Amino acid sequence: MILPKIFRYSLNQELRRAVTRMMRWVTTESNEEPLDLHKEQLNKILLVRATFRMGHSILAIPAIWLFRKNFPQARIDFVGAPVSAKLFGNLPIDQYFSVTRRYPGSAWDYPLLLRQLRSVGYDIAVDLSCSQSAMGSFIVGFSRARFRSRS
């Protein structure tokens, strides 16, 4: 049975609101301090583009180059879809983490990914998604980076 589009859309919005409330309750409150990228010592940078379309992944390439240009000595890691891993192979990133949306694998993959990301101790994590996709914000929010940003 296929649900009508209006019902699916409403259900999707309600689920997003519930997850957002839960994330606010679980995550720590930030101080909302202004970040001056030129004054901060950023040695470990996490960029996230957790969308599953090749074209959307390509839109993250300028950000990767800008971060590399401005922080040449920093470790820059990227979280993205498996489809773009080969494409990003020649970009100036140190580690590529793949995220999947296939169930049941994703039920185990996300906690393991978050554990890996938290163990690095990033100075900044940036969600490059620029969309309503909550996955990038989820990964950035739970990364425990000193500074977390959603573009």
CA 38 to the chain's CA centroid: 22
Cα 30 to Cα 26, 75, 115, 143: the distances in Å are: 12, 24, 20, 13
Domain count, the chain: 1
Q: What is residue 76's predicted lDDT score, i.e. its pLDDT? A: 96
Q: Rounded distance, CA 96 to CA 105, Å?
A: 18
Q: What is residue 104's predicted lDDT score, i.e. its pLDDT? A: 57
With respect to residue 141, please indicate whether it lies within any of the assigned structural domains.
yes
Q: Which domain holds residue 133?
A: 42-150
Sheet-wide strand order for 95-98: 95-98, 75-80, 44-49, 124-127, 147-150
* pTM for the predicted model, two decimal places: 0.74
Q: Rounded distance, CA 118 to CA 146, Å?
A: 11
The 10s digit of each residue's pLDDT in 14-56 is 777 777 777 677 666 656 667 777 777 889 999 998 777 777 7
With respect to residue 14, please indicate whether it lies within any of the assigned structural domains.
no
With respect to residue 27, please indicate whether it lies within any of the assigned structural domains.
no
Torsion over CA of 33, 136, 110 and 125, rounded to 10 degrees?
A: -40
With respect to residue 12, please indicate whether it lies within any of the assigned structural domains.
no
With respect to residue 81, please indicate whether it lies within any of the assigned structural domains.
yes
